[in-house]
Structures are given as structure tokens and as C-alpha cells.
A and B are shown apart, each in its own frame.
Chain A
Amino acid sequence: MTPPVDLLVGTSNGAFHLRADSRRRSWKLRGPMLQGWKVLHISADTRGRGTTLYAGIDHTAFGPTIMRSSDWGRTWAQVGTPPRFGRGAPGTLKAVWTIVPGRASEPQTLFAGVADAALFRSTDQGQSWTELKGLQRHPSRPGWSPGNGGLCTHTILLDPRDPKHLSVGISAVGFLDSTDGGRTFSMRNEGLPAVVATKAHPQGSCVHTVVADPTNSRRLYMQNHQGMFRSRDGGERWRRCESGLPGPFGFPLVMHPQDPRSLYSAPLQGDYHRCFPKGRMRLYRTSDGGTSWKPIGKGLPDRHFYGGVLRHALAVDGCDPAGVYVGTTNGHLFGSADEGRTFRRLPGDYNRIMSVRTVPVSS
């Protein structure tokens, strides 16, 4: 029997919780939570006794912060000391882009990626946050340029086997790797196109999403502003892997929960149009580690669909067969219970969907 699936949806106006029955046919929608706030990212930490939700939220007037809930979003409270830059920092806190629970071996630890281009860590279950200053001190930092969403640290990869090894993706800076727990970072942009080249940072590349093979953390995949890439050596060298994709541009990329050679992407028409090509919504899947991609998504809109998908708005669950979930910039939410072969609309019409996350099934 497949356990129920929980889906957390962050939008430009509040967040929502959807829970499926064990067959993933019937969904119950609850919300809005955090109404009036833009929810860039919402994640679940299942390492403790219960499930704790974390949301990176933002508001034009009242600014960005991290909220926490231990009752599935019925009540939320701001974490005790949200991420905050110290004096002399090269930027200000503009948005919380991602919140990632730490490794199983460090159950009190979480990481947060924020704009401007910074990484914070909490070692007390999210109560207080301290900046890991390796990004701030990087020699090329004065030349870093923002992407459309700012200098956003949107991707944090934690090596499950090495507590000192972590990597981040930053738009439009690149992929950076640390082997000393975030004290220092090495730029890993070899083979990536430079989109914002400056004298101080001639290789500035607009990374949109990076995922790592959980069975081999040196095997990486990246959706870049200018193409799909993979690396077999932890980002030392990147190579294109776009055969079969309709174009180079897109935001999200997720890995199949059981098959690390199988990934899902959502290619868009291009950086000026950011919609599905020809008004036809399709996801793409590779089953051979990026060597070739094929369109999937029977049941997704076929015509006059002028929305896109943001970097956090594509997710898979841990079921077998895997579920695939995608939220669009025009507020539609779709789900598949058969690995992406067929999709159905899930309940709700939303504002712009910023984030779709599943809660680990083991919880």
C-alpha cells in the first residue's frame, strides 16, 4: 500500500497543502496559509519526531523572512533570529530562496540560500541563523551580477557522505563548491556559457537548478539559462546534454526518486518569453542520464497555454511508481501518478506558483 502523499504549494499569495489518498487519485486541499505573503519556497523537515514546515516568504512592504510551523501550517511563527547580514556585508537580505534540512547525521541543522548571494546555516532547528561567509569572501564576489530574480542562492547540495562538502548554485554567478563546510568556495563553471561576464568574474554563468545523484555525488545535472548540462566530476567540467529538448532554456530539474539516470525538466520557449513552446505544455524526461530527452505529459494542456514553470515548481514523490507534480506561473497545478506519462489537474486555481514540494514519504 502506497502511503499518502503531501504536497506543499507556495504561491505569490500564500501557501497550500494538498494531501492525496494512497492511490493519489483523490486530493484534499487546505489553505491558504500565510495569505498575503509571497511564498518562494516551502519545505518539510521530517528528521525529528514530527514534521516541521519551513517557508521562505517575502512581502513588498514587510520584507523577507523564514516562518516555521509544527502543525502542518495551521499556525506559523517567525523563526527566532531570521537570516540577517552583519555590518560590512556586500548585500542586503532581499529574499529567502531555499531552505534545506541538513544531513541525517545533523538533525538540528538546516541551510538557507538567500539573495544577495549568501548561505546561512542554523544548528538549532531553524531558531537562529548564521551566515557561512565563504561566498561573501570569494575573490570574484565584486564582479557578481544578478539574474532576473536577483543574486539568488537557489540551490544547496549537501554531500551525504562528507559533512564538510556542500555546493550551491547562484544566479547569475555559477556553481560553487566547498569542502570546508562553507568557509571557502571554489567556482566550478568550466564548460558553462558565460551570460554575465565581468572583469572580476569573466565566467559568470546563470545557473537555474542543479541536482546531484544521491548514489554518486560527483554526478551532477544542471538546467542553466543557456542549456542543459551534466558533470561526472563534481562540477570540475560541464558538458551539454540537450539531445531531444526543444530548446536550451528552462528552470526546474528533478531526479527520479529511485532511478538516478532518470530526470524531469520543463523547457520553455526562451528567456524573453518564458512560456511553453507553441502554447503546448510538456515536460521532458531522460532515462539515460541526460544523453537523450523525450516529451511526456499526456493530459497537460495542448494549446493556448501561456504559462511557464519556475525553478522550485516541479517535484517528484518517493512512491513507486513515482508521482510527478508541476505548478505553473499562471496558477495551474498538475499531478501524475504514473511517472509522468499522464497528468491530471489537481484541485485549486492559484496565483503564480513559486514552489511545489513533496514531503518525504517515509514521514
Chain B
Amino acid sequence: MPSVTVEVASVLSAFTNDVTRLRAQGQTVGAALEDLLRRHPALRPRLFGDDGTLREHVLIFVNEERVAYRGGAGPTLAPGDRIHVLQAVSGG
């Protein structure tokens, strides 16, 4: 199973034991996030709404490319991939 890096926005560090660079395992973005959330359950409601979909203003990047992930399995991962969990920003 691919081992990947997940970097979360610094504002989320209070939900990940003050660490923003984390390790996760999973064949897909969804599986890797699920693995991460098993170890950091406080993070789940910050990323996903009550309906189980990704919050509207949360963005997922894989290897610095934005992926259209809102929930479920999502794109396939390769060993060493880097996932970034960021907030949508707009304006100047």
C-alpha cells in the first residue's frame, strides 16, 4: 500500500497534535485521508461536513496539482506522493 505524505494547513495543527506534516497509507486519496483521520479523529469534522463530503472551501492537492476530490475514493496514489490539504483563498 503506498505510503504518502500529507501536509495540512497550519491552522489545523491544533487538530493534529501540533504537527502539519504527516504520514498516511492508502491506494487512493480517500483511503489515505481515512488512514490519517483514524489517527487524528478530531480532524474529521474540520475537513468533512455532516453529509460526509469535503467542506466546500477545503482543497486537496496531489503533488501540487489540485484534484477534484469531494469524497469517496478519489484519485489513485503512488508511493511517495504528497497530498496537501489547504483552504480555498480568494481575493488579494
A interface residues, Cβ below 8 angstroms from B: 34-37, 59-63, 65, 67, 76-78, 82, 84-85, 92-93
| A61 in contact with B55 (CB, 8 Å) | yes
| B55 in contact with A35 (CB, 8 Å) | no
Interchain Cβ contacts under 8 Å between A and B, 29 examples: A34-B14, A35-B11, A36-B10, A36-B11, A59-B46, A60-B57, A60-B87, A61-B9, A61-B55, A61-B58, A61-B87, A61-B88, A62-B9, A62-B11, A62-B46, A62-B47, A62-B55, A62-B58, A63-B45, A63-B49, A63-B55, A65-B45, A77-B14, A78-B42, A82-B45, A84-B50, A85-B50, A92-B49, A92-B50
* CA gap between A62 and B85 in the complex, in Å: 11
Q: Which residues of A contact B87 (CB under 8 A)?
A: 59-62
B52-67 CB contacts (< 8 Å) to partner A: 55, 57-58
| A59 in contact with B11 (CB, 8 Å) | yes
Partner of A78 from B15, B50, B55, B58 at Cβ < 8 Å:
B15
B12 interface residue per 8 A CB criterion: yes
* CA gap between A288 and B56 in the complex, in Å: 51
Shortest Cβ distance from residue B52 to the other chain A in the assembled complex, whole angstroms: 12
With A36-B11, A62-B12, A62-B55 known as contacts, the answer to whether A93 contacts B46 (CB < 8 A) is no
* CA gap between A76 and B17 in the complex, in Å: 10
With A61-B58, A77-B42, A93-B50 known as contacts, the answer to whether A67 contacts B14 (CB < 8 A) is yes
Shortest Cβ distance from residue B19 to the other chain A in the assembled complex, whole angstroms: 13
* Binary CB contact string for chain B from 55 to 90 against chain A (1 if under 8 A, 0 otherwise): 101100000000000000000000000000001100
B1-60 CB contacts (< 8 Å) to partner A: 9-12, 14-15, 42, 45-47, 49-50, 55, 57-58
Shortest Cβ distance from residue A351 to the other chain B in the assembled complex, whole angstroms: 15
Shortest Cβ distance from residue B58 to the other chain A in the assembled complex, whole angstroms: 5
| A61 in contact with B50 (CB, 8 Å) | no
* CA gap between A221 and B87 in the complex, in Å: 42
